[in-house]
Structure 1
Amino acid sequence: MCVLAVHVTAHYSEDTASSAKLQLLGQALIFFFALSGFLLFLPIVRDLFLGKDAQPNVRAYAIHRALRIFPAYLVIFLITNFALQVSFVDNAQQTLVAGSEAGTGMITNPLSLLANLTLVQTYFPSLIQTGINPAWSLTLEIAFYISLPIIGAVLFWLRRTRGWSPLALTMAAPIALVVLGSIGKVFASWLQSREGITDVVEANFGPNWSAVVLRSFLGGSDAFAFGMAAVVVFVAVGTGVIGSKAARRIRFWSVIALFPSLVLMLAFLVKGSAFQSTFTSLASGLIILIIVLPLAEGGESKMADALDFKPFEYLGRISLSIYLWHFPMLMALGKWGLMAGDDWAGLVRNFVLLSVVSIALGSITYRWVEKPGLMYARKFKSK
C-alpha cells in the first residue's frame, strides 16, 4: 500500500507529494525483500539448528515458489497488455510522463513479450522497465528464490564436512549477500561513470547496464540479507543457543540501532547512493527482530499483537495481486479521465480510488488465480 501511494501520488500529484516527502514510503519495498529473507531462509536455518542432514525438499520448494508468483503475474500481465493495453512498450523511465499514460500500449514484439512473460526483461537494457514496470521486483525475488537452495546446499555440506556451528554457518550467508550486494553497487557506480550517467533515476531504472546490475541479484542481494540475519537470531533464541537474557539484550540494542540505521538510510537516500537500500534493509531486519524476538521462546509481543489486525492480514494475503494491479490501473484510470489533479484533495481522491480498485481486483485474482495455485502447491510436501 505504501508503494501504491508513492506511485499514484508521484504520477498525478507530483508537486504535492514531493512537498510532503511521500516518496520515502517507497522504501517499504525493501522491507518486503527483508521479510522474504526472514521467511524463506527460516526452514533452512531451523533444520541446521535441529541437526538435520539435508535441507528441505528442493523440488517441493521450487513448485511452491513458482505457483506463488507466476499464475497471478501471467493473468494480470496478459490483461494489462492485451485488454487494457497499458503495458510499457519501451523503458518507463524514459517514456513515462507524470499525469499521462504516455509510453503505454500493447507489447507485440515477440522477444519483448517472451521476456515479460518469463520475468527476465530486467536483465536486458533495452527491455528493462517494460510491461508492468514494478515487476522488476519479482525478477529480483525469483533470483533470491533460486539462490536459497544453492545457499542451503553449501551450508549443509559445510556442516557435514567441516562441523561448523549452525550459528556461524547461517550467519555467514547474509554476510556473503551483503558483500555481494556491495560489490554489485560499486560495479554499477563504475558503469555509471563509464556511460556518463549522472541522473539517479536513470542509473536505477534507465535502459542501461547500471540499472540492470542494480535491479539484479548482484546489486540487490543485500536487500534480503538482514531479514536472513534476523531469522538466524530468532531460531538461535528459539532453540536455546542464545539464552533469554542475551535475547532481551539483543532486542534492546536492536531498538537502539534502529535509529542510526534510519539516519544513514536517509543520508544515503539524499545523496542518491545505491547503498541507501542496504541501510533500509538493515532497519527492516531490526524492525522484524524487534517484533518477533519475544515469540521465539513462546512469549508475547505487543507489537505483533497490534499488527495482527484482520484488515492488515487480508491486505497481506492479497498483496501480490494488489502490487501487480496497481500500476496498470493507475495508467488505465488516468486514460479514462478518472484521476484528479495536483493538490491535496486530488491526492487523497486518487489514492482512495486506486486503492479501492486495486484491492477489488486483487481480491478477485487472489480468489480465482492465486489461491487455487497455492492449494495445489500444498500437495507437494517440503519433507
Structure 2
Amino acid sequence: MTSDAPSVSATTPDATPARVPTGPVAGFVPALEGMRGLAAVGVLLTHVAFQTGTFSVPVVGPLLGRLDLAVAVFFALSGFLLWRPHAAAARGLGPEPSARRYLLHRAARILPVYWVVVILVLALLPGAGGGLGLWLANLTLVQVFVPLSLTQGLTQMWSLSVEVAFYLLLPLFGWLLVRLSGPRARWRVPVLLGVAAASTAWTFLPIATVDGVNIENWLPGYLSWFAAGMVVAETAAEVAARPVGSARPRLARIADRRWALLAVAAVAFAVAATPVAGEQDLTTPAAWQFAVKVSLGALVSFCLLAPLVLGTSVRTRWLGGEFAVTIGRWSYGIFVWHLAVLAVVFPVLGISPFAGQFPLVAAATLVLTVPVAAAGYALIEEPVRVFVRDRERRRRAVRPASEDDSAAVASNTETAGAATASTAAP
C-alpha cells in the first residue's frame, strides 16, 4: 500500500478559510503502516496454522487460528484512513472529498495486482481453475455472492470483496451524514456506534441464500470493524478542530491509556480464541457466536488503533520504523499472494496439508511471499499509482483552484490499504 497524503489546504463552501488539519487527521502515520504489515503477517500465519492442522493443537492452535482477527485490524485501518476527509469536512477542516477521484484511486490501488494474481492462479495452479463463471466471479470481486467460487489459492479474497463493497458505499455513508456537521458533528460518533451495534445482529436475520453462499461473508456483518476506525477518525478530527489547550474528547483521553487498552485487546483476543466466538475449523458458527466474534474484533482493533492515532505519549519507534513500514508497504501483496505461495510450498517441501510442520511451512511461505509481494509492488502497484497520480495532476492543472483544493483533500484517501487493505480470510 502506498502512503503519500499531502496536507489539506482548502476553503469551506461559504468561502470562509478552513483550518488546516495536521497529524493523524490528514497526514501519513508511519505506525499505522507498520501495524498493517504486522497484521499481514498475522493473516499469513493463521492460514498456515489452518492448513497444517495446527489450529487443533491445545492453547497455541486456537491463538494462531484467531489471528484471523487481523482482518478486523485491516478493516479498521481502512475505516480510519478513508473516513478522515469526511470527518474533517464535517468540522470545517476542508471540503467533502471528490467521490470520482476517491473511487479512481481505490480501483488503481486494488485491481491491477489483484487481476494478475487471479489470472495466474486460475491458469496455473492445479485444482484452482474452473469455468467462465468462476473466472468472472473472481475477476469482478463478487465471489461472496456466487456459489463455490472461492477457489484454491484465492479463498482469502472473500474479505477483499467485503472491502470493495465498503469502498463503493463509503461516498453514500458520507452523504448520509453530511447534515451532521458543525455543532451537530458531535452526533456522528453515536451514529457510527449505533450502526456498529446493529451490524452485529446481521446473521440473526432470516436471509435465504443458495447453497455455497454464506451471508457471514457479506459487508453488513463487518460494519462494526470498519466503524471502529471511523470512530477514531471522527475523534481525531474533533481533536484537530478544538482550540489549542481545550479539553480533549473522552475517547481521546481513553486512548492515552495505552497499556490499559492493550490489556483489554489481549483479553478480548484470548476470549475470541475460545469456542464462544466459534470453532477454528470451517464449521459455520451460530449467529450468537458470529456476533461475539465481530464484537470482540471491533474492540481489539479499536484498542490497537486508537493509541497510535490519538495517544499523546505513545512511542511507536518499532511500528514506525523503516522495517515495519516497508513490510506494511508490501502488505497488500502479502495478502493477495500468500495462499498461492502456500499451495506451492506443500509439494515443494513434500508435506501434505493438515500434517503438521507449522514452523517449517510458515517460514517457507513467509520467505517466499515477501519477495513476491515486493516485486509486485515495484512492478505493478507503484507504477500504476504513479501513473494515476500524474494523470490527476495534469488534469488538475487545467481546473479551477477551488476544484484543486477538493482534489487535494481527496488525496488523503490514498493512504488507505486495500484489503485492507489487505484483508484476509480465516
CA contact 2:75–2:226 (8 Å) conserved in 1: yes
Letter aligned with residue 10 of structure 1: F
Q: Relative to structure 1, is the Cα distance of residues 308 and 338 closer, same or farther in structure 2, using a 3 angstrom cutoff? A: farther
2:362 to 332, 345, 351: 351
8 Å contact from structure 1 (residues 322, 358) kept in 2: yes
CA offsets, 1:268-308, max 9 Å, x none? 652221121222112211221112213xxxx5531x23311
> Given the superposition, is the C-alpha separation of residues 127 and 149 from structure 1 closer, same or farther in structure 2, using an over 3 Å criterion?
same
Does the C-alpha gap of structure 1 residues 307 and 222 become closer, same or farther in structure 2, counting only changes over 3 Å?
same
Against the structure 1 CA distance between its residues 123 and 343, is the aligned structure 2 distance closer, same or farther, given a 3 Å change threshold? Answer: closer
Q: Find the aligned partners of 2:231 and 2:54 in 1 and give their Cα distance.
A: 37
Give the structure-1-normalised TM-score: 0.78
Query: How far is the alpha carbon of 1:167 from its aligned partner?
Result: 2.6
Aligned length: 337
State yes or no: 1:24 paired with 2:66.
yes
SS of the aligned residue for 1:243 comes to: coil
Shift of 1:262: 5.2
Q: Which residue of 2 aligns with 1:3?
A: 43
The one of 229, 251, 254 aligned to 2:255: 251
Aligned partners of 2:202 and 2:220 also within 8 Å: yes
CA contact (8 A) 2:150 2:157 kept: no
- Map of 1:222 onto structure 2: 224
CA contact (8 A) 1:121 1:129 kept: no
Alpha-carbon distance in structure 2 between the residues aligned to 1:61 and 1:15: 39
Shift of 1:118: 0.6
Classify the secondary structure of the residue corresponding to 2:178.
helix
Gaps of 5+ in 1: 87-103, 196-205
Give, in angstroms, the shift of residue 310 of structure 1: 1.5
**Range that drifts further, 143-152 or 120-129:** 120-129
CA distance in 1, matches of 2:297, 2:380: 32
Q: Identify if the C-alpha distance between structure 1 residues 182 and 175 changes in structure 2 by more than 3 Å, giving closer, same or farther.
A: same
Q: Aligned residue for 1:198?
A: none
Q: CA RMSD in A?
A: 2.9
Which residue in 1 is equivalent to 2:192? 174
- What is the CA–CA distance in structure 2 between the aligned matches of 1:315 and 1:372, rounded to whole Å? 18
Q: What is the rounded CA distance, in whole Å, between the counterparts of 1:61 and 1:277 in structure 2?
A: 27
Task: Please state whether the residue corresponding to 2:201 is helix, strand or coil.
Answer: helix
Aligned identity (percent) is 23
Q: Which runs of 5 or more structure 2 residues have no equivalent in the other structure?
A: 1-40, 279-288, 393-406, 410-426
Which deviations, in whole Å up to 9, do the C-alpha atoms of 1:329-362 show, x marking residues without a partner? Answer: 1112223444488788x32221111001100110
Residues 152 and 246 from structure 1, CA distance in 2 versus in 1: closer, same or farther, beyond 3 angstroms?
closer
Kindly indicate whether structure 1 or structure 2 has the higher relative contact order, using CA contacts under 8 Å at least 6 residues apart.
2
Please give the alpha-carbon distance, in whole angstroms, between the structure 2 residues aligned to 1:137 and 1:250.
30
Aligned partner of 1:377 in structure 2 is 388
The alpha carbon displacement at 1:207 in A equals: 4.7
Residue 115 and residue 247 in structure 1: after superposition, are their counterparts in 2 closer, same or farther (change >3 A)? closer
Q: Which amino acid aligns with 2:238?
A: A
